[in-house]
Structure 1
């Protein structure tokens, strides 16, 4: 009986077996975010399949948002811009109308046994630990977001030995450079809540003041959870805009 492409389930259509193999190349870091993948001709030769099979596998990964075609340049592993999502809802500009870019500050870092809902979000079993980061995102020194970020300790243990000041403003490139973990996709849920005393202190608002809460679960290219994040911001200044046609 055939074992399929490099051991992938032979019951799957050939293009799906190839998709699984290409996805494994990305998840294992053989094909890096932002870098081109082999050409269709090279993939045809490498896996011994027809050009139509290659194109269908590539089309599937493009449609899933994991690959990006660039006319005349090739096909690349897509690197999503997750930070832009927060500013669909919060538009911060200076007196001249120029968009302000937030800075970030890690204010806490711990290794903990996560609560049940955190463990479930990260697909952790009862014995596994998680790293909790606490972060502020600031505009001109003024807190805009308070964030609680949870990471599987098994994948991010290296972060515990890094000084908080070394984290920088963007976490996902930092995860990649320090831990070899690449975030590929995320799902966000937006709700409204009230600030507890700790959050209120960080955001310089009153306890019980309304806050916008953005929960995000981020996944790697292997579709396993890499991060669970709760971002809170004062509801004042919140805006939502969408074009409908």
Structure 2
């Protein structure tokens, strides 16, 4: 269990998330039944339900009538590409292909080390990646990962990295991404980024900064994705 100062239902919630992070419970699968969990934790069913309710409200679990409660996998690709158009010449939606340009072992910049809760001298794996559609680069990405957790990635040919990184992290490093926080800013393109994105130096680009967390809220990845502002769209429904 976690911090004894927290209400019991919050401690149950944190323990459940720790089980997912440790691989005891698998995303996509069902958690044990209420009867099994109340026996395991020695709590009232109301306390257990309140803990599960918070996980459902946060989008980490989903109840299915008559089947149980299931652990969800967040759709991070859908999140990112709600901001950038991903259609071909015919207007059909497509997922861009990914290519790793470089991989280095290095300390992260101070603000990123702080976000990842690392000492500034601790090593990270820095990936540089592009997302392309029909040969045109839609996004340029810089990604920092704690080297102690993702060491296996240093021993895999970068040509063998998957198109989607989060399933790759899970299968090769045992690290599960459960949630993320994103911040959007607008900046002008420096020469190197402008050349990669095929735009003029000084043209506006949108940067999406993402801090990805494990199910137990441990910071696992810091990412900066940059795309031309001309491909950016933002939509929010207000009711």
TM-score bucket (shorter structure): over 0.9
Aligned pairs for 1:45-64 (under 5 A) are 45-64=39-58
Unmatched runs of 5 consecutive residues or more in structure 2 = none
Asked if residue 105 in structure 1 is aligned to residue 137 in structure 2, the reply is: no
2-side partners of 1:112 and 1:103: how far apart?
A: 26
- Conserved 8 A contact 2:60-2:71: yes
2-side partners of 1:92 and 1:118: how far apart?
A: 28
- Conserved 8 A contact 2:98-2:130: yes
Residue 185 (structure 1) aligned to one of 166, 171, 179: 179
CA distance change for structure 1 residues 63 and 141 in 2, over 3 Å: closer, same or farther?
same
Superposed CA RMSD: 1.5
Q: Normalising by the residue count of structure 2, what TM-score does the alignment of the two structures yield?
A: 0.94
Residue 202 (structure 1) aligned to one of 191, 196, 199: 196
Residue 205 (structure 2) aligned to one of 198, 207, 211: 211
Q: Normalising by the residue count of structure 1, what TM-score does the alignment of the two structures yield?
A: 0.92
User: Match for residue 242 of structure 1?
Assistant: 236
State the number of aligned residues. Answer: 239
Q: CA deviation at 1:137?
A: 0.2
CA distance change for structure 1 residues 154 and 211 in 2, over 3 Å: closer, same or farther?
same
1-side partners of 2:15 and 2:119: how far apart?
A: 27
2-side partners of 1:100 and 1:60: how far apart?
A: 34
Higher mean C-alpha deviation, range 10-19 or range 149-158:
10-19
Deviations 1:155-210 (A, max 9, x none): 11110111111112100000000000001111111111111121112112222221
- Conserved 8 A contact 2:149-2:173: yes
Deviations 1:72-94 (A, max 9, x none): 32111221000111222222323
Q: CA deviation at 1:10?
A: 4.4
CA distance change for structure 1 residues 236 and 16 in 2, over 3 Å: closer, same or farther?
closer
User: Match for residue 16 of structure 1?
Assistant: 10
User: Match for residue 121 of structure 1?
Assistant: 115
- Conserved 8 A contact 2:14-2:216: no
Unmatched runs of 5 consecutive residues or more in structure 1 = 1-5
Residue 140 (structure 1) aligned to one of 121, 131, 134: 134
2-side partners of 1:114 and 1:13: how far apart?
A: 36
1-side partners of 2:181 and 2:3: how far apart?
A: 28
